[in-house]
Amino acid sequence: MAKIFITGSADGLGLLAAKALVKQGHEVVLHARSEIRGQEALQQAPGAKEVLIADLSDIEEVKALAAKANALGTFDAVIHNAGVYQASAQQLLHVNTLAPYSLTALMHRPQRLIYLSSGMHLSGQPDWTERPSYSDTKLHMLMLAKALARKWPEVYANAVDPGWVPTKMGGKGAPDNLQKGYETQVWLATSDDQATQVSGQYFHHQQQARYNHAAYDVTAQDHLLAECARLTGVAF
């Protein structure tokens, strides 16, 4: 049994991954933005151990979330799933980039880290900006996984493109397979399959996939970490 923390697990892919992991017998800790959403998450994913609350757009709440998670011990895997799409540049920066960065830096180091990226990262720009597009923030997740592959060689840190799937974010008409949209995260978090024992890779439907080669740029990766540290006050 593995112990797994999933951000943004009151809805969408995070909730579906949580339910699948509970069904497999794992210990799952949920996360939601508010007490109300937290109660809803626990109702939706019966069997989950508990839910931690934090609005990820607030740096202080993110820091408090890391402390609450650390009070539960060390997780085997953390799925950095929470994200926003149609949101201000400020929200995109905070929820999609700074929150996963800060939680990664502050939480006890797990064996496996999974970051939700997107096929849209292909049009993301690696140059740092405090007003990122959604695509930029999803490129950041791959850059973070690649930086961790260099800096924390004992950890498996990977990014996932779930496909364009019908969640609140994806919309009802999204063409891709919803089940395949969360299976890869579940697999990377728990499987003994050799294919999961890698780091700094980008997966789609349990296969390594083509990605933006800008993510290879070590200088840009380190600049991303430095800017995240400057904006959050959280040292890597």
Segment contacting ligand NAP (CB under 6 A): 148-156, 163-171, 202-210, 226-234?
Answer: 163-171
Q: Which of 110, 124, 132, 170 binds ligand NAP (CB under 6 A)?
A: 170
Residue 64 or 84: the one with the smaller Cβ distance to ligand NAP is 84
Q: Which of 134, 156, 182, 211 is catalytic?
A: 134
Can you read off the two tokens belonging to residue 176? 């891709």
Q: Measured between alpha carbons, how far is 23 from 127 in angstroms, rounded to an integer?
A: 41
SS3 content of the chain, % helix, strand, coil (to 5): 45, 15, 40
Q: Which of 101, 138, 156, 182 is catalytic?
A: 138
Can you read off the two tokens belonging to residue 190? 């728990």
Edge-to-edge order in the sheet of strand 156-160: 50-53, 27-32, 3-6, 77-80, 112-116, 156-160, 202-204, 207-208
Binding mask 63-82 for ligand NAP (x = CB under 6 A): ------------------xx
Annotate 85-95 with b (16+ C-beta within 10 A) or e (fewer): bebeeeebbbb
Q: Which of 73, 86, 130, 168 binds ligand NAP (CB under 6 A)?
A: 168
3-state secondary structure of 135: helix
Residue 110 or 162: the one with the smaller Cβ distance to ligand NAP is 162
Q: Active-site residue numbers?
A: 134, 138
Residue ranges in contact with ligand NAP by CB under 6 A:
8, 10-14, 33, 37, 55-57, 81-84, 95, 116, 118, 162, 164-165, 167-170, 174
